[in-house]
Structures are given as C-alpha cells and as structure tokens.
Structure 1
C-alpha cells in the first residue's frame, strides 16, 4: 500500500481564478524534492518564488532582468533558457525527433506530437462551456473562445484589419509583402503557410493518411475526411436561417445563401455575365475559350459540358434510362421524358400571351407566336419567298421541283 504525500504550497492557475490545489506524490523522496522547490533556500526578491537549486534560481532571475544569453547563429534570435535554445535549433536543422507509431508522421516539438496523437485516439479534452464544441489542442480551444467573446487581438498595422488567431494574422501579413516562403520543388508552386505547403505535397506523393473506418475511403486532407464522416452520420450542421434548409458541407451552405441574397460574385470579364457558383462560372468560360474537355472515344466528337457528353454517350450505348410508367416508352434524355409525360397528364405549361392558346412544348409555342408577329424566318434560296414554318418551306420546294420537271 502506497502512502500519498500532498504539498500545500503549490498554486495552480485555472481560467481566471487562482486556487490552492494539493499536488500528490507516490513516494517520500519525490515529495521532499518538490518541497525544497517550494520552500528552498534561494528566494526571488521580486516575486517571492523559492528554489532548491542555485542554477534554477539564476535561470528564473532572467525573467525579471530580460537577459537572454543563448543566441541563435542562424537567425540571431535569443533565449533565456538553454533548453528553449536547443529546441529552437530544430527549426534550422529540420530535426523531428518525435515520430507517430500509427502514421509515421514526425514532429519537431513534443507538444505537437502529443496533439497529433489525439487525431488517432479521437480524444478532445478541451470543451467549450458555451456551445459544447470540443478540441484536441488547448490553442484551438483558446482561439475558439474568441468566437464567443468577439476578441481580435491581432491587428494589422498596414490596413488595420484585425484577427482572432495569430496564424491568420501572420498569413495576412504575407498579402502585403507578397512573399510565399514555402516553394514546391516539384511544380514550382509557392505557399504562404507551411501547413498549406505540406498539404500540397500529398498531391505529388498521393499520400492519403486519413482513412474512413466504415467504408475504407481515404483522404489527403483532414477537413475532407471530417466532411466525409457526415455521409455516414447524416449530420447536416449548416442550417439556413431564412428557409430552414440544412447542408452537410459548408461550401454548399455558402452557395445556397446566394439564392436568398442574389449575390453573384463570379463575373465574366469578356461578356459581363455573373454567376453565384464558381463551377458555373468556369463552365461558362468555355464558351469564350472554345474548350471542349469531354471527348467521345467512339466517334471523336467533343463536348463543352459533362452532362451533354453523358447524354451523347447514350447514342452509342443505346441506353434509355428514363422509362414512362404509363406506356412503357423509354428515353435517353430527361428533357424528352418530361415532355412526353405531358401527353399523359395533359399539362400545357406554355401559354400564348396574345390568344391564350397553350402548348405542351416550348418550341411549339414559339412557332405559334409567328401567327401573331408575322415573322417568317425560312426563305427559299431560288425565289426568295419567305415562310413561317420549315414544313411550309419543304412543301414549297417539292411543288417547285414538280413544276420545273413539267
């Protein structure tokens, strides 16, 4: 049976309050050694702290004097503590002594290594009292607290923009300098942050360290892995306040908000058309560039849009996936299928504004309008006579041929 020894001198900080806590020791020698640190012979005149050893006491004095005797030869940064100096040298040497047994990723700092372990264990020891969100790292927890307090302690001197996170502030500073210090040796792409650079490396290595236990899919990004988990859990954490619709992914949620705001941030410089979605904008650009990236291997025809390309493939395969339940007729194109259904439902959604007559198909409505407008877009190349409908032009040509033969 072990005897517990408790120190009554130790103080521990917890949030904003300082409380007395008893520190426990499993044996008497550890307890006595610790007690010397609390009541040791070397006492600081400025803050009252006591130390058992003179070298620890002298090191502590540098907190008050500001002395930093250990200077880095590479970057001239100085340190008050030898251990901190040695740890700093790893930045220049690239040494990463802490390796993860599960994914073999290596780390420069012990604290970062311990944080990383929680990726595998799923442990999130830091929980927010206000919203219940949990975090693997203390720094992430502290950053999150500013979401509730609104605090933005990091302010840019050049544009006065403020940030809640130091990493965001530092990344923003590079926007002013234009410096991208992390360059990829394989594709010459450069990055503002080391994290983005490391993530980019997986494009070349093909590494996908985050694997889903339920379906086996692997992901190169932790964020993509977390997004994927919602496919299995059914979680849709992004809810629209205006219509109540929920979304699994933040990108889909932001895209949806533009339905309500009418925002179209992606503008074509060539024709002025604007788009709410980047994918629609990129698709539109092909109209100007003439790019047709979808190529049919059977007939060599190319297509600008993937949906048109897929529709075309059915010409070769004969596939008709849209089947009418009423009469059994099948269609290769959803538009043809929907138009066909109107035969059974009797729906005629295209009314003529001038006479009220309705039509099942939009093209029929447009043709009918020529009765009112007098438009005759079809003309005979021989006699220059005009016609409102292609059928009338064909009939005219047949009559013309018959008369010529007579």
Structure 2
C-alpha cells in the first residue's frame, strides 16, 4: 500500500540550489546530461569542478581569517600564522639538537606550504646539517624556566643542548675537530665559525670603520666601541663591559674562580683561551705564523698584535695624553698612570700593582719560585719574559731594529730608549724643578739632589755633596 500524498502542498526546495541531505534524484527520473548525478552525490568530473569552485568561493568569503594583529598580514593556514607571529616576538620554539640553534619554524615544515607541499628540510647555518623532524624539538617555553641543571656547578639552562655543551667544560670533551689544523671544539657551531679563519671569511662588517669579524658576537661587541655602550656592569666594583663574556671573566678576579684546569699540570685558568694557550707550552705548538717575518705564536691575538710592529698601527689612543698603543690591554695599563689605580694587591705584604703579571712575579719573591729555566745553561727566572730575553744571550738575536739608523737591540725597552736620541724626547720630568730626562733612572738620581741636599760631608774640610760618588772623587784632593 502506497503512502498518501498531500495534494496542495509543494515539496520544500533546497536552499541555494543544494539538495537536502540524504535526498537524491527521484526514482525513474533521467540523469541530467554532463553528470548531473555528481551535483547531488559529489561524484564525477563535473562534480569535482563544482567542488573546487565552492572551496575557492568559501576561501574568498572567509578572506583569510588567520590575520596577524601586528602587521595585518593574512594566512590561509593557522600554522603559517603561528610561525609568522614568532618573527615579531623573536620567539624561536624549535631547536637543532646538534648545535642548539633555534628556529621560528619547525625546519621540517616548508615556509611556503602552498607551493612546497613536500619541501626539503632546512639547513642549519651553524652546524651545516639538514635539520628534519627527528633533529628538532620545541625549545622549552617560557624562556624564564631553566629546567636543565648542571650537577657539577649547579648552573641551569633553558635547553638540554646548552647543558650538554656546558658540561664539556667540566669533562674537557671537544668532539668537533678541525680537519685542517686539528684544533678541537666543544660545539659544532664553534667549529663552523673556526673554519672561517682558514677560509679568510669575515662575514660581519662594521659600517662605521669597515672592520670585519668572523663571529657575530665579536661584531656586536665591537659596535659598542663606537657607541660607548657598556651594558654589563660588575656588581662588585661597578666596572662596566661591552659584552657579558667580558663581565664573566672579570668577575673571576673577585671570586678567584679558575674553572679551566690543565690536565697535565693541574694549573687553573680563568679563561678557556688562556688554558688553550697554556696547553701549547706542553706541546710546543705555535700555529699562528707571521707572513712578514715568519715568527710563530701560540695565540692568534698575539699574532695580530705582532703584525702591528710591521705596519706601525697603534689603534688605541689615550684620551688624557694622546699616546697610542698596539693593544687595548696596554692602553688600560697606561691609563692607570693617570688614575693611580692599582687593583692587584699582594695578599702577603699588601703591596699593590697596576697589572696582574707584576703581582704574580712579586709573589714569587715570597715563595722563591723560579719556574722558567734556560735549556742551555740551566739558569732559572721568575718571569717568562726574562727567560726569553736571556735566551738571546745564547742565540745573539736582536729582533728590535731602529727605523732611523738600523741599530738592533735585544729588548724592546732598549729600542724605545734609543729612539729618544733621534726624537729628543724627554718624558721623565722632575716635579720640583721641571727638568726633564730620557730615562727614569736619570730622573731618580736627579731627585736625590732635592731630597737629600748636602747629605754627604767631607771629614777633612766639611764640604758637603749630594752623592757618595762625588764625595769620593773630592776626597782624592786631600790624599795627594
């Protein structure tokens, strides 16, 4: 029995030309030409075209709801918007597990997903490895949390990779080795940066002076020499620094911490670079060679300073007297002449010094230590510089040559004094009578004339003299 149909009522029409869900074509009704069945059921070529049109219309109607509130840029996908927002906040939630470098996008996801559906993995510029899904992990958020703690020193880190690299300070592990010079590093990023020293590559150039740098951190610190900005103050003495690493090194003066220990002699150092340089005293390695004279050095910084003896460059000038220097440390030491600062004090006798090295040498007067021994005659010295100068008595070497007359000297100080013959310079002035001298020893002798006038008296005639030598010459008159 067929169901009754209500005659005066029309069947409800589907909205916007769409059939109601579950309602197909009436039984026995011919299919529309060109695949009308697809319109109702979503199958067939014509149906696919219609669906694509509908999808495009919907996308156009939505007008990219994923809009960045910072810049107004819109995105088709919420994941693309999320990655884009990281560029405003500086957030980099994905970290390379090999070198610790962070990325705003998960490197496995191409930045333009619409045109690179299968995109290749991104390459980490520091460790030169292709970073895919297995090589990345979200960096801990928020950044203020540091859940990874070093069991040796208690220092905490926001990322596990930073902790792994830090722990190599304690273990001494340096798994990344340079294939050209054999130098080893704690992280692959440090090795990649080191390779630039062989390639001569210096990608970071200062717009103010044109100086180029291998490391971005060195470039940023250098820029502060132009701006004068020193954002890192020491809480103990108030002294400020261009970069955080310089502050950390300085703070070890106050704490006495020497975290870098030599595995051969157990000597401790405040800086890793000092340990590396010290290790070469055991190996005898001098990898940095001067292209002008062939002289080799243990540290690249020593080579750079040495090369200025050939070029005559003295880029560091004293603001008080205008005197220029080859290196910043020499300028800092010189400035203490003007300020009178003597920050290095002997713990045994309380004597203070302008520099740390004279303090170390002075302390050997208490201990009697003479660690620098001549391999030729066995004579020992308190200072390495004294040993180097002594060795020239065996070799006859005179490396310091006068540019005016060609005369050579064993010591740089001898050359400096000699040059005053040509320049007429007399930098040592008497504070009482303003008489000037070329050498401090001459000034010292002269000062006695003021301090001890007529201190030496002749027993024969009562005449007085300033010096014993002058008195002795005078007494010969009475002996005749």
Q: Normalised by the size of structure 2, how large is the TM-score?
A: 0.43
Compute the TM-score of the two structures, normalised by the length of structure 1: 0.49
* Structure whose CA Rg is larger: 2
